Structure 1
């Protein structure tokens, strides 16, 4: 008889877990509310950011944190009513900036990234969407050339073998034709790929899962059902019970409550991210996604227009969206970039990035229940690391040795 697995969460991480668990021969059910546009990866910039192997909490950022919290134009926004709830997370974030913690996080992310591209290619090939993965690189650009051409962070990335090179004016004009003359300096991180429609890409994984026999239950898990100290099933808010042998918590920003219900305390919070979709006509303005350093925005040419994504807002899961800040940024961009002066906003979106203070996702077994596994906390790297996370979780389900040391990702590290 096939072992039954329930995956809680139908975003890119949960779908990847289901995909690989089904490939291993498990009987798989996904429980998810089914609102595709609410998933964190649906509205991101589509960057497979294989170069992002450093944690967010670094000594340099911690020194800047007071200014970032107080500046009206900061890439970091905290709604002050939410600050008391956020404070324990911020303290852990600051503690994660020590040299030892940064090194551990960097080594963990590097190990995880080592299999990330292959896992994407594997899933995309199975889904018939390999053409959606484009090897564009990722541009990081400055309006004003920084006074220092090198940095400790760049040196650390170079030590990890990350491909990067400075772009000439002609090369930048070719990659970003709609931004000619805007930037004085730019670096191309050449290892990165681009997905021009993350929503369609994720939908293709869901369709492949369904075609392979994965069942989908539209619902929200309200609690776990335990018998004689072991988890035997989940109960949805609608009252349905789904029994299984193994359970995977991959609910993104909603996973903290589920982990706590299993007896695991994980310092998870939500980095809210906004995007605007701009109608820029038929001619491409970008041939590779671009991070505008001074404005802390990513611009990305999508199938249906130009996407502009914002940085970070902390306000929890329930506060109403506030689009004013990203719209002010767009107004400043329009004043600087003639090709965007008349670009119409087609849509606005808010998504929720599940983030832990040390920037290292939670991948592994519950400390309290061996038949429950966690796969969440990927922050800005959910799309990038979703498939490789699913592959590692399936390896654990099958009780095979993992190809990398999973100790750095264990939920027990927070105890």
Structure 2
């Protein structure tokens, strides 16, 4: 890599590649548009000096808090701009952040990626017990900000099969296929015979046999869609679709406000062609994606308790579930190596061919820390040690490329 002007991470042979160096030096050396997905956990603004070599001499603010926020955003801006350059037009970026800089990061990402490319601000419940130190409330959450490179082309599907609950499908056919009943009537009251007249038409159904058809048959009764209060409504399906899928419809007797009446329902199958997916909510709970405690345990099992606040692999795997299984992933603040670990776990689980490029600078670990006692002199050493252990235990290999010195992350 040192002899090439640009490098395409899609050309990596294994699942994981690690580059030790300042991301502001490394990112410009990646081929433009060569990355599909970015997840990263940049240094949070705790009031301490950043480990990057950037120089801030802004004396325009007398308020020390304003100067601190300005220094942080000045550190992040060129790095986000560099991330934007390496993202493919269909790509997306997900950034973890806490309350200290969430508002400033949102404005900065609006500036760099464009407000129109905003995807979501997710609340992540990483500490269910809440932080008990300090004044105020017991904070139990952080955030993930998500932006598309270009929203109309974005490959992110904000849904997943993991959030589908089988308990929501209480019925079963004789051969064991699970389903639920959904009203064929459109329950959204803005859709009426006046707004969508082509979907207001009669169907014929027999509540004894369950049969439904677009034409009258022996034992059937004519049914038109109505709201619960008796006002005219419309169906969700057109006549041709009813004719195509009559076995997915059933006529049933239900009890309404005016007593019993017949109505038509769709059998909505749990397992259907193409797989069932459900839109992700914007609050991700620790029991779904893991917590800081489970993240520490994951890291400890590989290389020891050598990093204070890693992210759980479940958080990154949930993000990976929104994109195809052959994406090129980048983490420019790789920290303990959570992203590369999550990519390897996902590939092993579903046979995917994702590749991950992790970048981390050689920020020295603290004197007297567990990492220093373990012989890990820099945070880059932690990243390398974890990804080496991942390659040995999970598979996928690891390519290590060393550049210049230079800090924390996921």
For CA contacts below 8 A with separation 6 or more, give which structure has more relative contact order: 1
TM exceeds 0.5? Answer: no
Q: TM-score, normalised by structure 1?
A: 0.23
Structure possessing the higher radius of gyration over alpha carbons? 2
- Write 1 or 2 for the structure with the bigger share of helix: 1
